[in-house]
Structure 1
Amino acid sequence: MLNNATDLLARLVAFPTISSDSNLEMIATLAHLLEDAGARTEVLLDEHGGKANLFATIGPDTGGGIVLSGHSDVVPVADQDWSSDPFEMREAGGRLFGRGTCDMKGFIACAVAMAPTFAARTLHRPIHFAFTHDEEVGCLGAQALCAALRDRGIRPSIAIIGEPTQMQVIDGHKGCCEYTTRFEGLEGHGSAPDRGVNAVDYAVRYATRLMELREHLKARAPKPPAFDPPHSTINIGALVGGVGHNVIAGKARVDWEMRPVQASDFEFVHDDLTRYCRDELLTAMQAVHSDARIETETVGEVAGLTPAAANEARDLMVALTGRTDVGTVPFGTEAGLFQELGMSAVVCGPGSIAQAHKPDEFIEIAQLNDCLSWLGRLADRASA
C-alpha cells in the first residue's frame, strides 16, 4: 500500500497546481482512480470552468458519512531556492521532496490509495472524498463545495481534513480573513504636497492603525487560552504605492490579514476601521480632492474551527490514531467550513506544517505509513 501511495504522490506532485493555475488535470486523474476503485464521483467546475472540486463516495447512499478532505492547490515556487525540480518528487534520507508533498498531496495520495480497501468492505456508513481548489487563496473551492452539499441535501456527519499535523489530532484553529485595502488620491508634483492627496501617506496611517489594533487584540484574549498565541492577530503583508521620488503618490494599497479567535474580535476590528476611514482618513482626503477613495476588497473570510465539548470526529481520530494529545493550531484550514455545515470536524494528517510553503518541502515516508495505518483502521471501523 505504501508503494501505491508514494507512486501516486509522485504523479500528483508532477501536476503544477499553483493556485493561480488550473487543477483540472489532477482532479481528472483522481476522479479516474476513484471510479476505478468503485466510487461514485462528481467533478464540480468553478464558474470559469478552469478549476474544479471533486466529491466522491464509496459505500451506502445514506447520511452520516465520513469525509476525507484535502486541497489540490499548492503555493508558488517562484524566487525559492530549491535543490531540485519542485514538481519532480525525489526521495532522500527517508523523505520525499517536492512542492505539495506535505501540503497536502501526501494525504490525498494516502486517501486515494486506500480507496480499493474501502470498496472491498461492506461499509455501514459512506466514505466521502472531497478534494478542492483554491484553499491557499481563501478556501474558495471548499466554500463552493459546502454550498453544493447543502443545496443537494448531502449530510455527512464527520469531516477529517488531512492538513499536515504530524498525525496529531487538532480540534480547533483560528479563522483567516484576508483583505486588500486600496487608496486613491490625487497625483501632483512633489514640491507641492498640499496640493495633492498622497495615497501612500494615508496607506501608512491605515497600516499604523492596524498595528495599534493588533496591540488592542492582545488584551482581548479569551481565558483560558485555547491558542498559541492566545489572541487574535493582524499581519500586514504588503504596502505598495507611488511611482517616483518626486511624485505625489496617487495610488497605494495595503495587503493584510486577521486571524480571529472569537467573533467579537472580528467585529471590533471592522467597526474600528470603518469609523477610522469614514471620520478621519476620507474626511481629510476629500477635503482636498472630492473623488478620493478608500476601498477594501475581501480576498477571503474563512471561519475558524471552534473546539467543542462533543466532537465525534475528534473522538474517532483519537481512537484511530491512538493520539490523545488533542490540540489547536494557529494556521487556518477548511475545517471550519465543514463545521458550519453541521459536521463535527478535525484536522489530522501526515507531515509537518513547518515544511509547508518552503523550498525543498518534504514529507517523511514514516508519516505516510502512519496515515495509511489509521485509514486502514477506519475501513475496519466503518464496516464493523
Structure 2
Amino acid sequence: MGFGDFVRRLAVDTSPLRVPAYRRLWMGQGVSFIGFQITSLAVSAQIYDVTKSSFWVGMLGPANLIPLVIFGLWGGAVADAVDRRRLLIVGSLIAWTATVGLLVQAALGMANIGLLLATVAVHATGFAITGPTRGAIIPRLVPVEFVPAANTLNFLVGNLGTVIGPLVAGVVLAQGGVAVAYLIDVLLFGAGFYAALRLPRLEPVGEVSRPGLRSVVDGLRYISGNPVVMMSFVVDIIAMAFALPRALFPEIVAERFGGSPLAFGWLAASVSIGSVVGGLLSGWVGRIRRQGLALTIVIAAWGVSVALAGLAGQLWLMVALLALGGAADLVSAVWRQTILQTHAPDDMRGRMQGVFMVVVAGGPRLGDLRAGATAVWFGATGAWVGGGIACAVAVLAVGLAVPAFRSYRAAVGNV
C-alpha cells in the first residue's frame, strides 16, 4: 500500500456531505456551536468573577443537568412521535431566548448568581430538546453506509467549535467582556436555525407511541434489555463524572497562570483540539470491530491523560496531554453513537438519542459538580489528578467485567 492509499484510509470520510440537507445541518451546527461554546466559557468566567469560588462554577453542573435529564428523555420521546424538523426549530428557539436573556442581564449589570443559573437552566432545556432530535434526524438524511461517517463528522465539527469558541472567548473576554461574548452567540445562532428551516418534513415512521412517561419507560426498558447499549452509557458516565476537570480551569488558571483569560481559553479548548485532530485522522475508526473492548481501552487512556495533565506545570504540556485525551474521547463518542443507531429501529431512535443526550451532556455536569465539590476538600490539583486516576481504574474494572460488552463486535447494516 502506497503513502497516498495510507493517507486516504486514515483521513476522515466526507461522503455524507454529498447529501445537501445533511451538509446544511452540519455546517449550521458547526457555526452555531462556536457561539454556544463562547457563551459556556463566558458564564463560567462571570460566575467565578462574582464569587471567586470553583464551587459555584461547579453548580453550573446541576443547573444544566436537571433540565437535560427531564427534557432530554421527554424530547427524545416526542422526537419519535412528531415532525422532527418542527421539534428542532422549537428547541432552538428556546435555547436562543435564554442566550438573549444572558445578554440582557450582562448589559444591565445584573450579576446575580441565582438569575444566571436559572437562565442557564432554560438554555439547557432547549439544548435537551434539540440534541436527541438532531441525532434521530441523521439516519433519515443519509444512506445506511454513511451513518458512521456522518457521526464522525458531527463530532468533528462539534469539537472544532469547542476549539474555536473558547479561543475566541478568551480574546473577547479580555477585550470586550461577557456582554460581547453573549452577543456573538446570539448572532451565530442564525446559521443553525437556517439549517433547521431548510430541512424536509420528517414525520414519524413505524409504530408511533404517544410521548409521555410510558414512552420514556419503553425506551429505558429497551436499553436495560441490551447489555452492550447499557454499557456504552455506563462507561461514558464514568469518563465524564470522574475525569472531566473543566470546573477547575478558573482556579488552576488563577493559581498557575496569573488568571490569564488566554490561558483559560487554551485550557478550555485543549480537549477539543485533540478531538479535532483525532477526527481528521479517523478513517480507521469504522474498521474496528471489537468496539466494546476498544471503548474500555480508550476511556482508560482518557483518564490517564487527564491525571498527567493535572500534574503538569507548563501550559503547553497541560494542553498537549488534555488534547491526547480528547482524541480518545472523540473515538469513544463515535463508537457509542454508532452502536445506538445500528441497534435501534427508527421508532425508537429518538428515545435512544434522548438517553444519549442525557448521558453525553449530563455526565460532564456531574463531572463539574464532582470536581467543584472535591476541590473544596482536596484542592484543585488533588481533585483533578484523583479524578483521572479513578476514571481509568473504574472503567477497566467495569468494562472488562461484562462479557457481552468485552466481546462485542460491531454489526453495521441494520440501520
TM-score range, shorter chain: under 0.3
Question: If the length of structure 1 is used for normalisation, what is the TM-score?
Answer: 0.24
The structure, 1 or 2, with the larger RCO (C-alpha pairs under 8 Å, 6+ apart) is 2
Higher helix share: 2
Structure of higher CA gyration radius: 1
Higher strand share: 1
Question: If the length of structure 2 is used for normalisation, what is the TM-score?
Answer: 0.23
